[in-house]
Structure 1
Amino acid sequence: MSALANQGESVRPTLAGRALGFDLWWLPRALVLGLVAFAIFGPLANLLIWTVAERWYFPHTLPLEYGLSYWAKVFSPRGVAWESLGTSIGIALLTVLFALALAIPAGYALGRLKLPARSLILLVFLIPQAFPNLPVYVNIARFFYDVGLNGTITGVVLVHVTHGLVFAVWIATAAFAAVDAELEEAARSMGAGAFRAFRDVTLPLAMPGLMASGIFVFLESLDEFTGSFFVGAPDVTTLPLLLYTAGAGGNYQVASITALLLLVPSIAFMLVVERFLRADVLARIGH
């Protein structure tokens, strides 16, 4: 009995040490997770506070007064928030239409046909992302000014299409490559033509990836600032331009409200992308 008692007493410190070590092991994890959460949600919390701050200045940690007067100013009839929001959404929708009109045939050819320079063609679509945007847009603005496209919706849409085409083509290529080619061949063997097999079989199966591609292009266009500034300003005012104007003028309340308007569709659409863009589609990118 004494031996068993001694063994039990020796086991208790060991278990206690293991439990203490387990708890201590979670301390650095909790610290890292806390820092990550602060880095992600800290700026968002600051943004939300600015949207309801009436007076807030250094050295005060929190606003001195709260209210919604700046919301009323932003959405008043004399404000330009609604007009800028409508312009941004209209430009983004046109950008999606033009980008998908180019990306669907290009993605089908790159994803289903055995092209000799397929990898090189995909690499070409990355070129707009490989160079700094500022010098590219300055030269585009100069060219558009010569041909009468500067300060027009058409010019801004063309710039956005150029910038977002890489997402459209790469994701569309992966979406079409993920569709089993035997399904289309089976439709062809039963008498369907090439276009009907594409319309009734391949396109519906690739539609989730194409929807994700369109959402990426929409969000990219909605948040695009540099191209809109050099090509569209001052005649075409989008929400990012309004955000920049308010922030540069020190009106942080209006800038925060505008940023919140841009943040809501981004979060909503990213949840949709996570739903439709599957891992097997992503695995096809670059293959």
Structure 2
Amino acid sequence: MTHATTMFTPARALSALWWVPRGVIFGLMAFFIFGPLANLLFWTVAEKWYFPHSLPLQYGFSYWAQVFAPRGGAVESLTNSIIVAVLTVVVSLALAIPAGYALARLKLPLRGLILLAFLIPQAFPNLTVYVNVARIFYEIRLNGTIPGVVLVHVSHGLVYAVWIATAAFSAIDAELEQAARSMGAGPLRAFLDVTLPLAMPGLMASAIFVFLESLDEFTGSYFVGAPDVNMLPLLLYTAGAGDNYQIASITALLLLIPSIVFMLVVERFLKADVLSRVGH
């Protein structure tokens, strides 16, 4: 009895009570993170749900059939979104690989300002920028076309593409490329055989970031593409504005799934040594 009493000290009591605020904090974090996701999943299968009921009164998949019906627009919007995102990745990497290599290897004057210049599209309110872009694209007949939407998405995707590509090339020891050239390889062969394969994990992460940015882009898609180029974010906006929460939730889930999958891939490819060189 005495031994048990001595074991229960005020310090041990405070240590045990310390888990209470921790549990409350973690519980609130889990609620704010997973609560909206759970609500989203409920709405995707809710046939009937209204206040004050905390759970749907009837479950089903009739809204899924409505979304993927020929007149629902989801298949066309999903196809357009994927096409635009893939083309955005191709164009962004085609520009970012040489730019990132030059910024990483060459002693360019005002290198920091060049990197900062790629942030300019993010520095201004998107609404005012895209209104003027839409007016210019209308005059040159790019408004309402997939190439026009791709160009707008590239202007945002280059931020991720160039910065991560620069970091990926900076993380590679230049002596490896010099060793290949000393053995007779030309500049292009040394780049293709040595530098590019080593930078590929960072470039893959860059491509995924650009793909996700394009997939979720709404403002540029709306002002440049609508109503001729239907995209998933536009379908989500239309459903949400019309208070059709089931269709909006299903569309949001279609956007969420690739984002989660690709972010897991990014976590695998984008290593700490690459991240540490972003902006350097």
TM-score scaled to structure 2, two decimals?
0.97
More deviation, 209-218/21-30: 21-30
Structure 1 residue aligned with 2:176, among 173, 180, 183?
A: 183
Q: CA deviation at 1:9?
A: 7.3
Distance in 2 of aligned mates of 1:225 and 1:23: 49
- Which one-letter code corresponds to 2:270 in the other structure? L
Structure 2 residue aligned with 1:115, among 104, 108, 122?
A: 108
Distance in 2 of aligned mates of 1:112 and 1:273: 24
Q: Hey, what does 1:192 align to over in structure 2?
A: 185
Distance in 1 of aligned mates of 2:207 and 2:176: 25
Q: CA deviation at 1:19?
A: 2.8
Structure 2 residue aligned with 1:214, among 207, 226, 239?
A: 207
Distance in 1 of aligned mates of 2:252 and 2:268: 25
Q: Hey, what does 1:11 align to over in structure 2?
A: 6
Q: Hey, what does 1:68 align to over in structure 2?
A: 61
Distance in 2 of aligned mates of 1:252 and 1:165: 34
- Which one-letter code corresponds to 1:128 in the other structure? P
- Which one-letter code corresponds to 2:214 in the other structure? S
Identity of aligned residues (%): 75
- Which one-letter code corresponds to 1:232 in the other structure? G
Distance in 2 of aligned mates of 1:9 and 1:172: 62
Q: Hey, what does 1:78 align to over in structure 2?
A: 71
In structure 2, the residue corresponding to 1:151 is in which secondary structure?
A: coil
- Which one-letter code corresponds to 2:6 in the other structure? V
In structure 2, the residue corresponding to 1:54 is in which secondary structure?
A: strand
Deviations 1:2-29 (A, max 9, x none): xxx97x5773342xx3332111111111
Distance in 1 of aligned mates of 2:86 and 2:78: 12
Q: Hey, what does 2:131 align to over in structure 1?
A: 138
Deviations 1:212-247 (A, max 9, x none): 000000000000000000000000000000000111
Structure 2 residue aligned with 1:225, among 184, 194, 218?
A: 218
Distance in 2 of aligned mates of 1:271 and 1:18: 41
1:99 aligns with 2:120: no
Distance in 1 of aligned mates of 2:29 and 2:4: 42
Structure 2 residue aligned with 1:277, among 254, 266, 270?
A: 270
Q: Hey, what does 2:44 align to over in structure 1?
A: 51
Q: Hey, what does 1:129 align to over in structure 2?
A: 122
| Paired residues, number | 280
CA RMSD for the aligned pairs? 1.3
Q: CA deviation at 1:77?
A: 2.6
Q: Hey, what does 2:32 align to over in structure 1?
A: 39
Distance in 1 of aligned mates of 2:141 and 2:247: 33
Distance in 2 of aligned mates of 1:233 and 1:9: 74
TM-score scaled to structure 1, two decimals?
0.95
Aligned pair in 2 of structure 1 residues 64, 196: CA closer, same or farther (>3 Å)? Answer: same
Unaligned runs of 5+ in 2: none
In structure 1, the residue corresponding to 2:47 is in which secondary structure?
A: strand
Deviations 1:63-116 (A, max 9, x none): 221111101111123321111101000000000000000000000000111111
Q: Hey, what does 2:20 align to over in structure 1?
A: 27
Distance in 2 of aligned mates of 1:165 and 1:64: 47
Runs of 4 or more, structure 1, over 4 Å off, are none
- When Rg is computed on C-alpha atoms for both structures, the one with the higher figure is 1
Q: Hey, what does 1:170 align to over in structure 2?
A: 163
Aligned pair in 2 of structure 1 residues 113, 61: CA closer, same or farther (>3 Å)? Answer: same
